[in-house]
């Protein structure tokens, strides 16, 4: 029954009107299950007390590792130099600066600067020397870095310092000046400040003619050019060169240093376009061109002309020039060339008016014709006769007629000197004699007079120098000797004359 009802219910279509449900039978109550007894609560375990937190130990922050301090070699070297240089430059006034030219370093101090490179080491510079160096652009300039500290105690209370590109020297009298290159090398060769040039009184100066440079020193000059090299000049010779316009003048640059030890205690110097020669008695004179070539051909100062006693002089008639020498002349013109005139012929030419007279310029050198010295000139021939005994051998030919002594070799007049002869109470003997004795510094035992460079030929008669003749001229006379008054001339003649040479005295 119950099953049928359920079936009917299931078969009823969805959507049909509600049907009256048959009342469901009340179910027979089921005996309820005996309830389980509520379990007796189990005593819960006594909870462990929460431990009191222990204060944890404060952990210290780890100490930082010390920073590694890097000191450059330059700083280290400068510090070491500074430690030993306090008296010279005082305390530092700023930090070390590196990264300079050539990887250098520097540090300023109260009284100076220390500079360092690996090539030079550490050196200090100060005062006037540092100022002079600074004006050349310091380490960036041509002097570059110092290669020594300043050194003092030099002559004249001076100081100096070496640099990579040169030197700086100072003295109270000159100030500080730099020098370098070929000029420095030449100065070094003369003994630095201890040599005769002394200290520099200027820096090197360049931009001169021919790409040259020069430098002034206390007692001279050094000049350099690519063509001539570096040479020093001083004293009367450099004054003569200055008078010619230095390197811009007619002589150009020196091509040698001054050389001394010449005859008559002379000195000379070669230049690009000429020469300057000096003796204590002649002074300094320059010579050039055809005239100096003619003088060279005569043996320079050792020849019969001796030293020049004037500079070359020009502006003569027909564009000519001339120069006086101790024992003769050299004259030149464009049309005649340069020729030597000396001895008796030059005296005759002078008397005729030199180049302005009727003879004009010489056209050749002296020669002998019919036993007489002869020379051709534009206007004719000049000749001068001497005693025939003078024409052979080596002869001192003394003419009372024109009061002259001529030194002759095989008839050629080599040199001519003014001569003074004996008084009427003590005349000089005439005749042909032979030199038998020479006395360099003789004093007469008979008259107690000084007669140096005496060349004895006839008993007590001699050719010799006379201070009285030099002082009074022909106002006096000798005690029978042949007096000469040309000191340099008789010094030269004394060196030429030999024992056995002739002496001819005549009217």
Residue-wise pLDDT for 27-50, tens only, equals: 443 444 444 444 444 444 444 544
Give the residue carrying structure tokens 């120098």.
Answer: 465
Please write the tens of the pLDDT for every residue from 135-145: 999 999 999 99
> Do residues 410 and 393 lie in contact, with contact meaning Cβ atoms separated by under 8 Å?
yes
Structural tokens at position 136:
């050349």
* Distance separating alpha carbons of residues 426 and 81, to the nearest angstrom: 87
Comparing CA positions, the residue from 429, 505, 421 lying closest to residue 469 is 421
Supply the pLDDT for residue 321.
99
- Domain 388-505: what homologous superfamily? L,D-transpeptidase catalytic domain-like (2.40.440.10)
Please, how many CA atoms are within 13 Å of residue 28, restricted to the half-sphere of its CB? 1
pLDDT profile of the chain (507 residues), mean per 10: 33 34 40 42 45 49 63 96 98 98 98 99 99 98 99 99 99 99 98 98 99 99 99 98 98 99 98 98 98 97 96 98 97 98 88 94 90 90 86 94 90 90 94 97 90 96 95 92 96 97 96
Structural tokens at position 258:
């001054």
Report CA-CA distances (Å) from 370 to 337, 385, 386. 26, 9, 11
Segments in 12-159 forming alpha helices (H): 73-83, 86-89, 127-134
Percent of the chain residues past pLDDT 90, beyond the cut? 77
pTM: 0.71
* Distance separating alpha carbons of residues 403 and 120, to the nearest angstrom: 75
List 105, 464, 477, 479, catalytic entry: 464
* Distance separating alpha carbons of residues 347 and 341, to the nearest angstrom: 9
Supply the pLDDT for residue 62.
63
> Do residues 162 and 148 lie in contact, with contact meaning Cβ atoms separated by under 8 Å?
yes
- The question of whether 464 is a catalytic residue gets the answer yes
Supply the pLDDT for residue 307.
97
416, exposed or middle or buried, with CB in 10 Å at 0-12, 13-18, 19+? buried
Rounded to the nearest 5°, which phi and psi values hold at 495?
-75, -20
Helix (H) or strand (E) holding 408: strand 404-409
Supply the pLDDT for residue 58.
52
Which residues make beta-bridge pairs with 216? Answer: 221
Supply the pLDDT for residue 14.
31
Structural tokens at position 150:
């300043």
Comparing CA positions, the residue from 487, 448, 13, 140 lying closest to residue 282 is 487
Residue ranges matching CATH 2.40.440.10 in the chain: 388-505
> Do residues 478 and 419 lie in contact, with contact meaning Cβ atoms separated by under 8 Å?
no
**How many other CB atoms sit within 10 Å of the CB of residue 484?**
24
Report CA-CA distances (Å) from 433 to 391, 397, 479, 497. 14, 10, 18, 13
């Amino acid at each position: 029954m119950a099953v049928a009802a359920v079936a009917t219910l299931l078969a009823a279509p969805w959507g049909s009107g509600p049907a009256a449900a048959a009342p469901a039978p009340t179910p027979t109550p089921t005996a309820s299950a005996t309830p389980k007894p509520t379990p007796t609560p189990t005593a819960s375990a006594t909870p462990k007390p929460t431990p009191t937190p222990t204060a944890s130990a404060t952990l210290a922050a780890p100490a930082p590792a010390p920073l590694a301090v890097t000191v450059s070699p330059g700083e280290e070297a400068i510090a070491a130099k500074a430690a030993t240089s306090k008296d010279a430059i005082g305390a530092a006034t700023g930090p070390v600066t590196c990264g300079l030219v050539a990887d250098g370093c520097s540090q300023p101090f109260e009284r100076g600067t220390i500079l360092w490179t690996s090539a030079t080491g550490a050196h200090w510079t100060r005062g006037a020397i540092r100022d002079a160096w600074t004006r050349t652009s310091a380490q960036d300039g041509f002097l570059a870095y110092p290669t020594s500290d300043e050194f003092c105690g030099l002559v004249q209370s001076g100081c100096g310092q070496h640099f990579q590109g040169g030197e700086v020297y100072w003295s109270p009298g000159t100030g500080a000046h730099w020098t370098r290159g070929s000029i420095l090398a030449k100065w070094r060769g003369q003994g630095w400040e201890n040599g005769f040039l002394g200290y520099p009184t200027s820096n090197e100066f360049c931009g001169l003619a021919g790409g040259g440079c020069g430098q002034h020193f206390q007692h001279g000059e050094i000049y350099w050019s690519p063509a001539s090299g570096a040479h020093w000049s001083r004293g009367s010779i450099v004054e003569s060169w200055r008078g010619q316009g230095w390197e811009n003048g007619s002589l150009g640059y020196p091509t040698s240093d001054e050389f001394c030890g010449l005859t008559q205690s002379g000195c000379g110097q070669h230049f690009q376009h000429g020469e300057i020669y000096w003796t204590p008695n002649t002074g300094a004179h320059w010579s050039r061109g055809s005239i100096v070539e003619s003088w060279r051909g005569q043996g320079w100062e050792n020849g019969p002309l001796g030293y020049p006693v004037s500079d070359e002089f020009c502006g003569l008639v027909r564009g000519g020039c001339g120069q006086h020498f101790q024992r003769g002349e050299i004259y030149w013109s464009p049309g005649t060339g340069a020729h030597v005139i000396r001895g008796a012929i030059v005296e005759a030419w002078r008397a005729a008016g030199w180049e302005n007279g009727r003879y004009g310029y010489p056209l050749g050198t002296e020669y002998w014709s019919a036993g007489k010295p002869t020379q051709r000139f534009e206007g004719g021939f000049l000749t001068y006769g001497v005693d025939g005994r003078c024409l052979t051998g080596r002869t001192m030919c003394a003419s009372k007629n024109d009061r002259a002594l001529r030194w002759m070799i095989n008839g050629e007049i080599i040199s001519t000197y003014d001569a003074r002869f004996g008084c009427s109470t003590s005349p000089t003997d005439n005749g042909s004699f032979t030199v038998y004795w020479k006395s360099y510094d003789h004093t007469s035992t008979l008259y107690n007079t000084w007669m140096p460079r005496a060349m004895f030929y006839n008993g007590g008669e001699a050719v010799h120098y006379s201070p009285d003749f030099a002082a009074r001229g022909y106002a006096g006379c000798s005690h029978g000797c042949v007096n000469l008054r040309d000191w340099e001339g008789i010094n030269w003649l004394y060196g030429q004359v030999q024992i056995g040479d002739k002496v001819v005295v005549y009217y």
